[in-house]
Amino acid sequence: MELKKDSNAVSIDMLLIVHSEKRRAAQGTHSDRQADPGALPQRRGGLQGVRNGIRRWQKFEGNDVHGSLAEKQHPQQTQVITSYDNQGTQLTVEVHPRDAMPQLLKKFSLAKRLQSDKNGNTRPRQPGTKDAHAYPWDRSSLKSMPLDLRQFEKLDTYASQVTVKSGLDELVSDLLQEAHSDLERVRVIWIWICHHIEYDVEAAQEKDRQAFKPTDILRTQKTNCDGYAGLFEKMCRIAGVHCVTVPGYSKGFGYQTGQSFSGEFDHAWNAVYLEGRWHLVDSTWGSGLVDSSTSKFTFLYNEFYFLTHPALFIEDHFPDNKNWQLLKPPQSLRQFESNMYHKSEFYNKGMLSAHPETSVLRTVNGKATITIESRAPTLFMFMLNGKQEHGLLSLRKNGMKLDIYPPAVGTHKLQIFAKGNSDIYSSVLEYTLKCNYVDLSVRLPTELHQPVGPSWFSEQMGIVKPSHPDPIIHTSDGRCSVSFDVEEGISVLASLHGDEGPITEETQRRYIFQLQREKRAELKVQLPQAGKFALKIFVKKRLEPGNYVFVFNYLLCCTNTKVNWPMFPESFGNWGQDNELLEPLSGVLPANRNVSFKLKLHGVAKALVKGQDTWPLTLNQEGYWEGSCSTAGCREIYVMVLENANHNFYSYILKYKVNAQ
């Protein structure tokens, strides 16, 4: 509305403020407290039933730059008219020079270029170029604005401990006690919802979903995604922060890799306006997760969905309006459906990228290869159709490589897990694997665990400078020798595993003979037959109790069908780590033969071989104990040592079996 009398025309802006008669009476005369920034009456809906009432005039002094400038140009003074009707409705009108900043807007801390929605609520501009982030992700940050999460530690603790005493307004008021910026206000609301509101699985699965009222959510502390988003928006508005609810499609609970989206939207989240820019949050997914096997919700806070970088948010959130992607260029629904879905834990665990960038893989000659790049060394594992089989996973300094060999033609489910800084492996990727050919020559041992081959992890566990850096060892005669340095105080244990043949749980260590030369350990391996075998390596700190820990394994391959090596002799606890066996290496000796023995034994006073009779071994100039014995009439042969010349007690160190006659 505009009145023109002369060259000094005035502009009339109207800011309508509604108070009940009860509140007006309690406050007494009109005062500056009515313009408290914390009380945002314009957010409570439109004005209804204003009638003629008593008018009162007030004068505002213009002290800011805009006001003083306007006053110089226009001699009119700013005037405010406050009117009440007989039912207590209050109407405040400000009359000010055309170029002056409205004083009421100043007092409400709303001196911004704001728009008004149909309900009279103020809001900033719609998302535009200023809000758009580049796509694809530039790897700079998981957040859409610079954040130091350490600054929220005390605030998060406070917010998570606030309890509901009465209504929503009081709850927000309590939360804002420790919040001093819009960012902190959003943070305390986010933290409170994520730690107190449970996802209502049953309600979410109902065909005719009912809207959740904030009062009901506070009472039951349960809701669905619409309720999460609505509650978050309502609390932000009470706190004076601009927030909207964004509906759309999601790759959440029940999502199947590669599925298409159509029809009704299945999810809702929020956008908040902070520091002149829109940002995205999803308090539903920030609060926890639903177990797909039990359909039960578990509180598990997820920081990822707070102010998520839009180029990452789009991986599992597709809004109804492309502008709310906050991306340049925006993605189409078809792209959203076909793009690789990296779960939030993919980024939480420090992953950067995965190749190939498609959720549906097809094998080539019966094999598919996946690589992952990470910010730091990370432990991985995989499952094909729910089992840790049919794959070779090798760790890299910054990622991993997985070669997968499906055992049958058809469609398979491949899951990849990462450990990160926690003690728990989390699912980070899922693939649909289509196989139209099986390479029967590639049959991996069932006991071939992950990872395969030495890596940064084996170095961390005390095994360094391996003789075989590659995970696969090929042997033409069925024998090989693997060696590596072992850090001081570390004990090494190895076992051999195959799916066929004579190897059992009792004999899996008998096809390996371990030698120790100062800091270097050597594993002599003899295969019982042709095939593929897992050579598993474990370590343990000598002075600490507990079991050996698996570190890695090699895949041993032999195609020579003539291979038929016997087991090594059985060694006992007194077999020293620095001892060395030259002959006989076979743990099974021929019957009725003279057999030569040659060993290097440290810290030994005497050594002998015991069968039907006893044959002493002598120490030669090269430091080896030598001698021979007859296997006639023997079923077993033992090597025994006397460690102290002043004692008469001999210890068993090796045991051989003798073939039946």
Report residue 73 as tokens.
Answer: 């140009």
Annotated catalytic residue, options 131, 282, 317, 629: 282
Of the residues 194, 225, 236, 634, only one is catalytic, namely 225
What sign for the dihedral angle of Cα 310, 311, 313, 318?
A: positive
| Per-block mean pLDDT, blocks of 10 residues, the chain (661 long) | 42 46 38 32 28 30 34 46 46 58 42 39 76 92 95 97 93 96 97 96 72 88 94 96 96 87 94 96 96 88 97 96 96 93 94 93 96 96 96 96 97 94 90 94 92 97 96 96 94 90 78 86 93 95 90 96 92 81 91 93 91 93 93 93 85 92 65
Beta strands in 375-476 (DSSP E): 380-384, 391-396, 399-404, 410-418, 426-435, 463-464, 472-474
Q: Where are the alpha helices (DSSP H) in 167-309?
A: 168-175, 182-196, 201-205, 214-220, 225-238, 283-287
DSSP letter string over 101-129? Answer: PPHHHHHTT--S--EE-TTS-EE-PPP-G
Does the annotation count 225 as an active-site position? yes
Residue among 194, 361, 212 at smallest CA distance from 283: 194
Note if 629 is an active site residue: no
> Six-digit token pair at 541?
């700190």
Q: Is 13 a catalytic residue?
A: no
Position 394: which residue type?
Answer: S
* Residues 389 and 314 sit within 8 Å (Cβ to Cβ): no
- Distance of alpha carbon 114 from the chain centroid: 39
> Pairing relation of β-strands 133-134 and 327-328?
parallel
- Give the integer Cα–Cα distance in Å for 289 and 284: 9
Catalytic-labelled residue, pool 267, 342, 390, 412: 267
* CB count in 10 Å sphere of residue 337: 17
What is the C-alpha separation between 617 and 640, in angstroms, rounded?
10
